[in-house]
A and B are shown apart, each in its own frame.
Chain A
Amino acid sequence: MVTNITNLGRSGLSDWLLQRVSAVVLALYTLFIVGFLLLSPGLDFAAWSGLFSQTWMRIFSLLAFISLAAHAWVGLWTVTTDYLKPTGIRVAAQLIIILAIFVFLVWGIIVLWGA
């Protein structure tokens, strides 16, 4: 049996479930943001920053960013394990990806609460 130590959930089944739950969260967040932008033609800074100063919007955004981190990791883990066969190159790529995901997550939290 092949033992995976780099996938997120430690089992294919939990990765599968994580990918779907995070996908639904991201789909809802995408629909919300696109819908908000479409319904606010003359959007200005006050309305835009007003939206992101709401506690529920910050929590919704944080949920989306965490889902994004999980979703990107499961997806890119699958892609890298499928196409990057040499172990050294694959693990190096995966380290860069996990670092990038970490940076995006921290950046997102700073944007939501830092200002």
Chain B
Amino acid sequence: MNSKRPVNLDLSTIQFPLPALTSIAHRITGVILFIGLIFAFWALDTSLSSPAGFAAVSDALAHNFLAKLVAWGLLSALAFHFVAGIKHLLMDMDIGVTLEGGVKKAQITVVVSVVLIILAGVWVW
């Protein structure tokens, strides 16, 4: 083996390929969604508890900027996690399991997620 071949150990200069980035984003959004369950269960519990509770939740989602931001953030994480999950199921079905297919599916995941995230923002605001 040629011992003089160049070795790059500077990790900050190594670029992750897109499928690696969507994979780590799938994990990060999963963790975010788990933490976000506190808000989701609170909203479900309160909105079903009484007419006043329902009014409190819908009022927060209609007028409270922070509540809207949390709702949009969680919907965004959900959208990406959902789309990346579909990508996983496609891979399980042996669809597009090639280098080119992997890059293409990662690109589609990003594009579809961005569209859904924008639509979620429109829905919340």
Do chains A and B stick together as partners? yes
Q: Residues of A at under 8 Å CB distance from B?
A: 20, 23-24, 27, 30, 38, 43-45, 48-49, 52, 68, 72, 75-76, 78-79, 97, 100, 104, 107-108, 110-111, 115
The 9 closest A-B pairs by CB, nearest first: A45-B54, A45-B51, A111-B45, A75-B30, A107-B41, A23-B85, A72-B34, A49-B48, A104-B37
Please determine whether A30 and B92 come into contact, CB atoms closer than 8 angstroms.
no
Q: How many residues of B contact A (CB 8 A)?
A: 24
Which residues of B from 83 to 111 have beta carbons under 8 Å from A? 85-86, 88-89, 92
Decide if A48 touches B54 in the complex (CB within 8 Å). yes
Provide the bound-state CA to CA distance between A43 and B45, in Å: 16
Tell which of A27, A45, A107 has the most Cβ of chain B within 10 Å: A45
Q: Is B22 an interface residue (CB 8 A)?
A: no
Cα distance, A43 to B48, chains bound together (Å): 13
Known A-B contacts A20-B89, A30-B82, A79-B30; the reply to A107 vs B48 at CB < 8 A is no
Residue positions of B touching A, CB distance < 8 A = 27, 30-31, 34, 37, 41, 44-45, 47-51, 54-55, 58, 78, 82, 85-86, 88-89, 92, 123
Shortest CB distance B30–A (Å):
5
